[in-house]
Amino acid sequence: QLQLQESGPGLVKPSETLSLTCTVSGGSISSSSYYWGWIRQPPGKGLEYIGRIYYSGSSYYNPSLKSRVTISVDTSKNQFSLKLTSVTAADTAVYYCASLRRGWFDPWGQGTLVTVSS
Amino acid sequence: QSALTQPASVSGSPGQSITISCTGTSSDVGGYNYVSWYQQHPGKVPKVMIYDVSNRPSGVSNRFSGSKSGNTASLTISGLQAEDEADYYCSSYASSTTYVFGTGTKVTVL
């Protein structure tokens, strides 16, 4: 059964780069059935799609974040990663990774809270 | 890409049916059959309840059903139960190869 787990710093300073990794277990990240995505949720607010990547490295981003986001994949480690540059307090959120099958996100990781503060 | 529009809150008594709407445009909800719905209890991870407009994943109660008409998708919960009290989000694939979520609806069981 596919499982995902986010990891990375819980505190990032303003203007710096947020970096998170998602480790996939119970299946191969090189499966042709899935994309691998990132979603975030600011405290008390709704969900926001960040972007997704295919095992081949093809990536697609939310236009509103595209200038600051990079998603990469490491098939040898069964991991994919998120980098968000020039962060501000508005980027404080729970960040989820999830597998994306055609049109829906499932399963999701447990989520990790990233706070942007000096 | 703007968030899909959902009512902020919907409530119902146990046993009743409620419907949550999710309104987008022809560039998202109306243009693709990739609408999904997620249930999120406080402090928990979102769980997919409906995918591809009207399909239920294995293990999801048949009290949950989905549909779409034009640019508006809907999630109906029949036989409302206390455990259904949660936040619900719709999502749709959109042109420009992105995805968009709804604004979220808080369901209260009276």
pLDDT, tens only, A42-86: 999 999 999 999 999 999 999 999 999 999 999 999 999 999 999
Mean pLDDT for all residues in chain B? 97
Q: Per the CB < 8 Å rule, is B99 touching A109?
A: no
Segment B92-100 mean pLDDT:
90
pLDDT score of B71: 98
Mean pLDDT for all residues in chain A? 96
Residues of B in contact with A102 (CB under 8 A): 34, 52
CB-nearest partner of A47 from B46, B52, B97:
B46
Residues of B in contact with A110 (CB under 8 A): 45
Q: Per the CB < 8 Å rule, is B48 touching A63?
A: no
Q: State percent of chain A over pLDDT 90.
A: 96
Question: Which residues neighbour B97 within 8 Å (Cβ) at sequence distance 6 or greater?
Answer: A60
pLDDT, tens only, B57-87: 999 999 999 999 999 999 999 999 999 999 9
- Output the CA torsion B89→B92→B55→B66 (10° steps): 60
pLDDT score of B36: 98
The residue type of B55 is: N
B96 pLDDT more than 80? no
Q: Per the CB < 8 Å rule, is B33 touching A106?
A: no
Residues of B in contact with A46 (CB under 8 A): 3, 89, 101-104
pLDDT score of A102: 81
B95 pLDDT more than 90? no
Q: Per the CB < 8 Å rule, is B3 touching A46?
A: yes
Q: What is the pLDDT confidence band of residue A108, given thresholds at 50, 70 and 90? A: very high
Of the candidates A38, A75, A33, A84, which has an alpha carbon nearest to the alpha carbon of residue A57?
A75
- Rounded to whole angstroms, what are the CA distances from A115 to A17, A87, B1? 12, 10, 25
CB-nearest partner of B101 from A47, A101, A111:
A47
Distance between CA A42 and CA A79 in Å, rounded? 24
pLDDT score of B37: 98
> What are B83's two structure tokens?
């455990």
Q: What is the pLDDT confidence band of residue B97, given thresholds at 50, 70 and 90? A: confident
Say yes or no: B45 contacts chain A, CB-CB below 8 A.
yes
Say yes or no: B7 contacts chain A, CB-CB below 8 A.
no
The residue type of B52 is: D
